[in-house]
Structure 1
Amino acid sequence: MGWLTASGGYEVTLRESTLVARNAKGRELRSVPAALRDDPVVVGLRQLTEWLGRHESQCRTDIERWMVRSLPVPVEVLAEVWPDESWRTALTDLVVAVLDDDGGWDPDEVGFLRAAEPGRIGVVTLDGDTVRREAARVLIPHPVTLSDLDDLREFAADLGVQQSVDQLFRQIHVRPATQDPAATRVEEYSGGRYEQLRHLTSRATKLGYPVRGGNAVCRVFEGGRVVEARTWVGADDPYYEAETGDLVFTDRDGAGLPLADVGPVAWSEGIRMAAALYAGRVVKQEEGEDE
């Protein structure tokens, strides 16, 4: 953006979300003078910076929700938001698939999103070709559903792709083939001790998992139904000690699901949540270890 006139002969501007000032002679200053702290122009630019930060974060959050919940995205929506730099940055180089009329997609026809306009998207394929594809709706596939994930990761590394939304290099978990088909809970990440419940609930919230009824929750829409992954965190006094509980999966009405009935996306995201909460536990020092 251009330079804006502030009081005292100074001028200010935003450069990559950083407030920059220069004096009347045109020399840029190392920091914004204290005298400009309450200047209306400076205050306005700082508020704009804060808003842009929230906007960028919300764009990434919305896109991640589309991916985790397997939500079809109308191309018209992408075309509308594409001119917005925050949206365009978050969407560029995400792996996308064109949905057919029945909601299906060809895993061999995915590509890195580079452009969006009404009725069409531009993608870079695994062959390195830039192509335009007609599309009414697209899907941002969860990485656990991508059959060519390793090839896509390698190609992305070769291209120097840096995704703003955690997709290709997102940690994924595949349900073990040897699992008991009658099992209803995962116990591997239970027993993670926290000194206070509020520490555990705070970690869950910061990671993006709401806490409801004593459970950290991750909701996924998969296979035409809603599945919730739930990990017990506690509902006692927030200053009491707490431990992570077992991971379970429920349907929309809260009824428990056998693990064998849980889809790959719900499974991967549920384990990801449970593992992240367990990782924040208090780890006891081994006897004889230095304090």
Structure 2
Amino acid sequence: MSINDLLWVSSGDYSYAFSSEGTIVVRKRSHNTILEEIPKRAKRNDVYKRMKQAIKINKELAEADADHKPLVPEINRSLRSWMTGDTSWTAATLIERWADKHWRKALSNLVIEVGGKKGFLTDIQDKTVMITRRSGRVRKISVKKNDPILLPHPTTMKRLTQWQDAAERMGIQQGYRQLERPVFRNEPDIEAMEQRLQAHAGGRWYRQGPDSRLDALCAREGMEIHDGQIETKYETKNGGVVKFVAECLTTKPGELTTMFFFFTDGDGQPLDQVSHAIYSESIRTAMILKAQADVQLDALPKM
């Protein structure tokens, strides 16, 4: 495919397009040559950011199973709870889990905050946590067992693009998807959130026994199936719980079709608001529940 066959979108001093391999290519508006290296200024453009987001979402939906299969489901669920909750782990918890090879695979290179500093988790030796800063410098931070360790969600990272660029520059790979996780814009109120979620209803699953694809997905993503509902629980500070619920239609035994989505507290009462991180994760979950379903319906059946 030649450069003239690509669909270019111009913004500012640059033009952007998806290559035949699905990557983003950039050229100056006044030139007809693709740049070998994308300038930082071009990466800061909203068009480039939206294209990067589209790639992340497509990868998440197409490779959801492959992305998390190497991780033990309990580890995957625990990390998401840590990342979206208002609570932190203690240094003692992190040190204990780092000693386990399965946990270490998932924890390696996550961006954490320890001692007021953020960095890629590189190693832990005794009571010393080593993080790599965006500059590439390795910092050694001595910790006490009750010191808090934070795992920021991408929605809360003010310099997310810089962390992504640093990971790419240093060849850093994360076993658990944190930096490359799809992030979705927050909505002004709960009604707008649930309305946007509704666009992803219509995933039909055929659940035949506890080894069904839906049950495997639920085990991996930390969801539970109860009486025609698929629930995801998020722990919040002070022992609170936010539930993201997919209400399903069950017209035949073992058949579930996602119809609409809503949020409740731990007692099933409607919520007025949820955090940006939980909302973003809920959009991701709703998209996967449709994209990975046995059938994707264009029109919802009547309940």
Q: Compute the TM-score of the two structures, normalised by the length of structure 2.
A: 0.62
- What aligned pairs does 1:11-90 form with structure 2 within 5 A after superposition? 58-90=74-106
Of 259, 267, 271, 1:253 maps to: 267
Corresponding residue to 2:155 among 144, 160, 167 = 144
Question: How far 1:97 moved relative to its partner?
Answer: 0.9
**Over residues 108-149 of structure 1, what are the superposed CA-to-partner deviations in whole Å (9 max), with x where a residue is unaligned?**
x31101122454311111222111223412011122211111
**Preserved contact between residue 246 and residue 261 of structure 2 (Cα < 8 Å):** yes
Aligned to 2:15: none
User: Could you say which residue in structure 2 is the equivalent of 1:226?
Assistant: 241
Q: Is the 8 A contact 1:173 1:268 kept in 2?
A: yes
Q: 2:194 aligns with which of 185, 198, 201?
A: 185
Larger radius of gyration: 1
In the alignment, the residues of structure 2 paired with residue 253 and residue 284 of structure 1 have an alpha-carbon distance, to the nearest angstrom, of 31
Q: Secondary structure at the match of 1:110?
A: strand
Other-structure match for 1:264: 276
**Partners of 1:212 and 1:283 in 2: CA distance:** 22
Distance 1:194 1:145 in 2: 33
**Pick aligned residue for 1:277 from 289, 292, 296:** 289
Structure 2 CA distance for aligned equivalents of residues 87 and 197 of structure 1: 30
Bigger shift: 228-237 or 179-188?
Answer: 179-188
2:181 equivalent to 1:170:
yes
Distance 2:213 2:72 in 1: 27
- Conserved? CA contact 2:245–2:263, under 8 Å: yes
Distance 1:190 1:60 in 2: 23
How many pairs does the alignment contain? Answer: 220
Residue among 105, 116, 134 paired with 2:124: 116
- The percentage of aligned residue pairs carrying the same residue is 24
Structure 2 residue identity aligned to 1:189: A
Does the alignment pair 1:155 with 2:175? no
Checking the alignment, whether the CA contact within 8 Å between 2:204 and 2:297 is kept in structure 1 is no
Instruction: Note if contact 2:73-2:219 (Cα within 8 Å) is conserved in structure 1.
Output: no
With over 3 angstroms needed to count, the CA separation of the structure-2 counterparts of 1:55 and 1:223, relative to structure 1, is closer
Show structure 2 runs of 5+ residues with no match. Answer: 1-68, 299-303
Q: Decide whether aligned partners of structure 1 residues 195 and 182 sit closer, same or farther in structure 2, where only a CA change above 3 A counts.
A: closer
Partner of 2:111: 95
Equivalents in 2 of 1:90, 1:203: separation in Å? 19
Mapped to 2, the partners of 1:84 and 1:120 lie a distance apart of 17
Alignment of 1:123-138 (within 5 A): 123-135=131-143, 136-138=147-149
Separation of aligned partners in 1, 2:258 and 2:72 = 32
Change (3 A) 1:204 1:230: farther
Q: Whole-Å Cα distance in 2 between the matches of residues 172 and 97 of structure 1?
A: 20
Q: Distance in 2 between matches of 1:84 and 1:55?
A: 13
Ranked by relative contact order (alpha carbons within 8 Å, sequence separation 6 or more), the top structure is 2
- CA–CA separation in structure 2 for the residues paired with 1:257 and 1:220: 13
Deviates more, 1:147-156 or 1:114-123: 114-123
Q: Aligned partners of 1:203 and 1:245: how far apart in 2?
A: 21
Per-residue deviation, 1:196: 4.1
Q: What is the Cα deviation at residue 190 of structure 1?
A: 5.1
Aligned with 1:126: secondary structure? Answer: coil
Q: Distance in 1 between matches of 2:86 and 2:131?
A: 20
Instruction: Call closer, same or farther: CA 1:191–1:141 in 2, change over 3 Å.
Output: closer
Amino acid at match of 1:110: K
Q: CA deviation at 1:89?
A: 2.3
